């Protein structure tokens, strides 16, 4: 052991003997204060070195998106800051000139020394539902005027909040600004916000994301108020979801949290094309397009295989569509289907359409039916009566794609099964509706969660899209119930 220590010490002496005096002096001649000052000056030089300053997209919270902030630094400690209009803040825009400093303690920090947009951001609040059917105002928190300089190059500066609490640390990435960036076009940004809203420019329900070169596809949804986009995509035979903060620009939008398709493909910048109502990007060297469609961007719905079963066993359930309430306000029910059901309601009193599974109570004797529920005035006796017409169907599932409701017999026989129905319900009035519901190509089914309007209670729904004519789209509430004993 003593011999090993002696050899190590001898090697250390020989190594430093081999170094030139100049190299040795360069390593140790500067004090810690001098080395820190050199680092700070280098960062100031980078910040002040961009002719038109820097632009970044700032958000203090991972649940809301970002707004552009411009900063132009001088090398003597002053900075001019300009932000775009921020609807969630009490100011429409903000311009300030204030002092800043770069210092190093445990980390190298950029500190704004007077009140600016970052301090105002700290007052940001949001409305959330409360138990009484209204909303309450609560603080979002966040907001920052001290940042850690994670890295700095002449083209890119990466900052991170110094004092944010919790697991989320606010990232703030700056890139070189142009002279044009300093002129915010509020009308153009407002228009981009308008067209981003789901359904604003098209009656088609889906927004497909396509990257043909990588054979990637998915679906895109947006909350333009809070600037959050959601991507649904297929991975390992499962539909997954990722949320990304975004900032609306004069020409489209930027993802603050880029869409990472693979290790080499990160997509963030999208430009809106009004001519064909699409968003395109060339980031990552690939062409990416977001476009409206009536066909889902992901043709993979394992829910189709699970419907009617629970823990591998059959369960009584139904998908219920209300012709009267019809959920048209959500935008999920197409006007084509709404009009189809509404015509039967007006002419014959159709109230609900139910798709029953494993329900042995049906008078037809078939456990799987499409049941039309009519609300008819009966004279005598006086008053309204609910009339159920159970149309027997075979439910055919095509794995991970669609479900087909195949008629077992002429649907008119279901209307004739009760002699009273002959006078009360007209089978021909429902002919077109039945043809749509039992089309041989079937329906895509998408399971989602909706929330009640006033008390925000979740409930399960299934969006059904006709394969042969996607202009027919309806929303059904998913219900399970116990078999009668």
* DSSP per-residue letters across 266-284: EEEEEEEETTTTEEEE-GG
Question: What was the pLDDT predicted at 251?
Answer: 92
Q: Is residue 439 within 8 Å of 481, Cβ to Cβ?
A: no
Instruction: Give the domain ranges of the chain.
Output: 47-180, 189-293, 303-480
Question: What was the pLDDT predicted at 314?
Answer: 77
Q: How far is CA 33 from the centre of its chain?
A: 48
Asked which of 4-8, 282-286, 315-319 is least confident by mean pLDDT, the reply is 4-8
pLDDT score of 131 more than 80:
no
Q: Give dist(CA 436, CA 219) in Å, integer.
A: 25
CATH code assigned to 189-293: 2.40.128
Instruction: Pick the more confident residue, 77 or 365.
Output: 77
Structure tokens at 268: 């963030």
Is the full-model pTM beyond 0.85? no
Question: What was the pLDDT predicted at 133?
Answer: 57
Residues 6+ apart with CB under 8 A from 433: 340, 341, 344, 353
Q: Give dist(CA 209, CA 241) in Å, integer.
A: 13
Q: Is residue 346 within 8 Å of 423, Cβ to Cβ?
A: no
DSSP letter assigned to residue 50: -
Q: Give dist(CA 321, CA 473) in Å, integer.
A: 11
Write b or e for each residue in 268-292: b if 16 or more Cβ atoms lie within 10 A of its Cβ, otherwise e. bbbebeeeeebbbbebbebebbbbb
User: Could you report the per-residue pLDDT of 372-424, keeping only the tens digit for each?
Assistant: 999 877 666 656 778 889 999 998 888 767 889 999 999 988 887 554 545 56
- Give the range with max mean pLDDT: 6-10, 158-162, 202-206, 295-299: 158-162
The domains spanning 47-180 and 189-293 adopt the same CATH topology: yes
User: Could you report the per-residue pLDDT of 402-412, keeping only the tens digit for each?
Assistant: 889 999 999 98
Correct CATH for 47-180 of 2.60.40, 1.10.220, 2.20.130, 2.40.128:
2.40.128
Asked which of 76-90, 290-304, 385-399 is least confident by mean pLDDT, the reply is 290-304
Q: Indicate the pLDDT class of residue 291, thresholds 50, 70 and 90.
A: very high
Find tokens 């439910």 and name the residue. Answer: 395
Q: Indicate the pLDDT class of residue 362, thresholds 50, 70 and 90.
A: low
Instruction: Pick the more confident residue, 252 or 184.
Output: 252
Q: Indicate the pLDDT class of residue 473, thresholds 50, 70 and 90.
A: confident
């Amino acid at each position: 052991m003593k011999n090993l220590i002696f050899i190590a010490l001898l090697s250390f002496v020989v190594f430093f003997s081999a170094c030139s005096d100049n190299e040795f002096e360069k390593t140790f001649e500067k004090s810690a204060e001098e080395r820190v000052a050199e680092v700070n000056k280098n960062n100031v030089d980078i910040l002040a070195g961009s002719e038109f300053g820097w632009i970044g997209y700032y958000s203090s919270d991972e649940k809301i998106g970002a707004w552009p902030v411009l900063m132009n630094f001088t090398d003597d400690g002053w900075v001019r800051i300009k932000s775009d209009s921020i609807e969630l803040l009490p100011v429409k825009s903000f311009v300030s000139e204030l002092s800043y400093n770069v210092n190093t303690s445990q980390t190298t920090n950029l500190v704004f020394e007077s009140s600016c947009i970052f301090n105002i951001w700290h007052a940001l609040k949001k409305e959330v539902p409360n138990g009484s059917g209204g909303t309450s105002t609560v603080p979002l928190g966040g907001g920052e005027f001290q940042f850690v300089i994670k890295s700095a190059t002449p083209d890119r500066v990466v900052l991170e909040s110094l004092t944010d609490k919790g697991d989320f640390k606010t990232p703030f990435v700056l890139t070189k600004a142009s002279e044009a960036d300093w002129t915010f076009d509020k009308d153009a940004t407002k228009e981009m916000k308008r067209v981003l809203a789901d359904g604003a420019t098209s009656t088609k329900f889906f927004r497909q994301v396509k990257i043909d070169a990588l054979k990637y596809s998915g679906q895109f949804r947006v909350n333009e108020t809070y600037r959050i986009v959601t991507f649904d995509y297929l991975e390992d035979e499962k539909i997954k979801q990722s949320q990304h903060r975004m900032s609306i620009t004069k020409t489209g939008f930027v993802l603050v949290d880029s869409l990472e398709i693979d290790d080499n493909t990160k997509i963030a910048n999208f430009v809106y094309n009004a001519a064909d109502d699409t968003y395109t990007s060339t980031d990552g060297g690939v062409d990416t397009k977001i476009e409206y469609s009536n066909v889902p961007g992901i043709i993979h719905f394992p829910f189709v295989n699970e419907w009617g079963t629970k823990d591998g066993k059959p369960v009584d359930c139904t998908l219920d569509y209300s012709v009267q309430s019809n959920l048209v306000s959500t935008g999920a029910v197409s006007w084509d289907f709404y009009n189809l059901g509404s015509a039967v309601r007006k002419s014959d009193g159709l109230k609900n359409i139910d798709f029953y599974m494993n329900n042995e109570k049906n008078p037809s004797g078939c456990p799987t039916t499409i049941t039309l529920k009519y609300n008819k005035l009966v004279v005598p006796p006086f008053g309204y009566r609910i009339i159920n017409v159970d149309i027997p169907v075979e439910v055919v599932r095509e794995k991970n794609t669609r479900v087909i409701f195949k008629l077992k017999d002429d649907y008119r026989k279901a209307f004739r099964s009760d002699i009273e129905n002959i006078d009360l319900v007209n089978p021909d009035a429902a002919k077109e509706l039945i043809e749509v519901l039992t089309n041989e190509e079937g329906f895509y089914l998408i399971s989602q969660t909706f929330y009640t309007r006033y008390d925000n209670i979740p409930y399960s729904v299934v969006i059904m899209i006709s394969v042969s004519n996607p202009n027919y789209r309806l929303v059904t509430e998913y219900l399970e119930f116990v078999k009668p004993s």
